[in-house]
Amino acid sequence: MSDPTSIDELDLSPRAGKRYVAFDREFREEFIYFLLLDRFHDGKNHPVVNATSRSTGFPAPDGFYGGRIEGITKNLDYIADLGCTAVWLSPIFESNAYHGYDITNYLAIDPRFGSKQDLIDLVDAAHSFQKNGKPWPLRIILDVVINHSGDNWSYPADQPYYYWNDQQFPFDAWRRPDRPVPIEFRDPNWYHRRGQIRNYDQYPEYQHGDISGLKDFAHDDDPIGSRVINALIMAHCYWIREADVDGFRVDAVKHMSEVACSRFCSNVREYAYALGKRGFFLFGEVATPSDDLYNRYIGQNTSVSDDRKTVFFGLDSVLDFRLAEGVYGDANNAPLRDVLLGNVGPQTLFNRIDAQRERALNRGELGRYLVTFIDNHDSFWQSGRIGALANDDQLIGCVGFLLCALGTPCLYYGTEQGLAGTGGDTQIREAMFDATPNGQSHLNKRCRLYQEIAKIASVMRTSEPLRFGRMYYRQISGDRIHFGLPYGTEYTLAFCRILYKRDVLVAYNISKHPRSDAIVVDATLHSAATASMTFLYGGNGSIPVQQTPNGTRYVALDLSPNAFVILE
């Protein structure tokens, strides 16, 4: 059967005889593996690089390289053995570009990636995956682009037009007579037509303008906007119905109105429930380090932009750009990588957790609302991959922080192999396989980075406090008498996760020199004279809980340079 071309052709009733998968696992329990489909694997039988050291990846052009959906299906064991429980795919629909964010057809898989059946097979294999003979179901999350379509039409004379005073410009012509799909999107009035954004922080420019040459949908709160957003809702519900996918990462959320985003999320969530799918995960890209902006899209907060007439339930979570990117020019809100690499002090981390307090009544619940990351596929906010800046121990510490701190940790593909691209988008989107005949693959489970990340992920998976617990940064002391939160760039960064009488301590030596620091622990949870803490990662055996004359209880850790440890 051919792919549909119109919203009117979509059958959104449950597939006959299909039992849709519902996850009991909460979003914040996931360890997400984010991959660019075109760069991960092509499904061919490439020999795997067999080394304990890191890899460089294979340079790929600014175009289609050859990755396919079946390449993911055949290598789910690589992702699962790393400890990941969810796979976020870059956009898979027919597109003008290898990265998928330039969509021409929302109702068909790009044939360069595979077919609809390939996606169904991937999801089925992920849901039924077993690890070491035991069920290890993986969520499959699609990257969806609902703010804009691809560059499917032109302004007059096919010239670039730029935003100016919210002026609407004339429509010229469709680039192809049979695109975009669905055919409903071939209405010039369904687009804002304001030209390319110049100022990405100026409203209404950033919501009405085009991102580069991509064409912005007119999903305002009006009759046309309702038709646009309803068509997008149905087009994406179609893929839940067909393939049983488990979540959407919503691209470019900042550039959509809050109400449009929430209407999309509310309806998609309801449709998933109607199929029997619980826990459909919706998280968004708000690529600005602003909690105020995040709050407009998470949960019920979008009712503010509708004069509180209607309460919409928006995104479940957003990517935490404030943590990863930091606030430019503010040393107390610096990028996460700068802190973990010892380039700036830790105050930014203390400020980050304080800034989230109004989002939940319990400190442990804060992890629901943010997807945390250390690097990703976009160069607009970073100079390159974390692997280009960090030695192996630092990289392990960075990923360990994501896995053990509040939030849903997300790993950018190749980080586990130490890929170290720098420069523009193309340079940080290396391929994990060599597309030439008999070319190798970097899906190497022997790599030390891969193995250590897997060990930390296993501790997180089996330790409830690391998934649900309240988080507190801990004071340290060099003389076992005077304790305080760390500062400067030479210290042990320590925090605990506490969950109903259980206290898990995480410590990372920021310094490139050995350190011996005492770290405060909760006196009520470690009150016995014989109290001790046992290493879960990074050490062996147990260490005693000691006490100062004034009653402060602590553990003393001797840590090698950039050592990362977990104790309970």
- 124 burial type by CB count under 10 A (0-12 exposed, 13-18 middle, 19+ buried): middle
Please name the residue that has the structure tokens 């290898």. 98
pLDDT at 17: 96
Q: How far is CA 411 from CA 19, 40, 58, 371, 518, in A?
A: 30, 14, 19, 10, 31
* DSSP per-residue letters across 176-231: STT-SBSGGG--GGGB----B-S-TTSTTHHHHSBSTTSEEB---SSHHHHHHHHH
**Phi, psi for residue 119 in degrees, rounded to 5:** -65, -45
pLDDT at 527: 86
Distance CA 216, CA 256 (A): 9
pLDDT at 361: 64
Distance CA 54, CA 77 (A): 20
Q: Are 521 and 532 in contact (CB under 8 A)?
A: no
CA-wise closest residue to 243 among 109, 110, 43: 109
Q: Are 215 and 228 in contact (CB under 8 A)?
A: no
pLDDT at 329: 87
Distance CA 285, CA 269 (A): 18
Distance CA 522, CA 471 (A): 12
Encode burial over 410-449: b for 16+ CB neighbours within 10 A, e otherwise. Answer: bbbbbbbbbbbbeeeebbbbbbbbbeeeeebbbbbeebeb
CA-wise closest residue to 337 among 352, 325, 321, 350: 325
Distance CA 240, CA 233 (A): 11
The separation between the first and the last C-alpha atoms of the chain, rounded to the nearest angstrom, is: 56
Give every residue of the chain whose pLDDT is below 50, as ranges: none
pLDDT at 348: 94
Q: What is the DSSP letter of 428?
A: G
Q: Are 164 and 195 in contact (CB under 8 A)?
A: yes
pTM for this predicted structure:
0.97
Q: What is the DSSP letter of 367?
A: G
- pLDDT tens for 101-136 read 999 999 999 999 999 999 999 999 999 999 999 999
Q: Are 260 and 296 in contact (CB under 8 A)?
A: no
- Domains of the chain, with CATH numbers? 30-146+246-462 (3.20.20.80), 466-567 (2.60.40.1180)
CA-wise closest residue to 85 among 458, 565, 468: 458
3-state secondary structure of 470: strand
Distance CA 96, CA 451 (A): 37
pLDDT at 408: 97
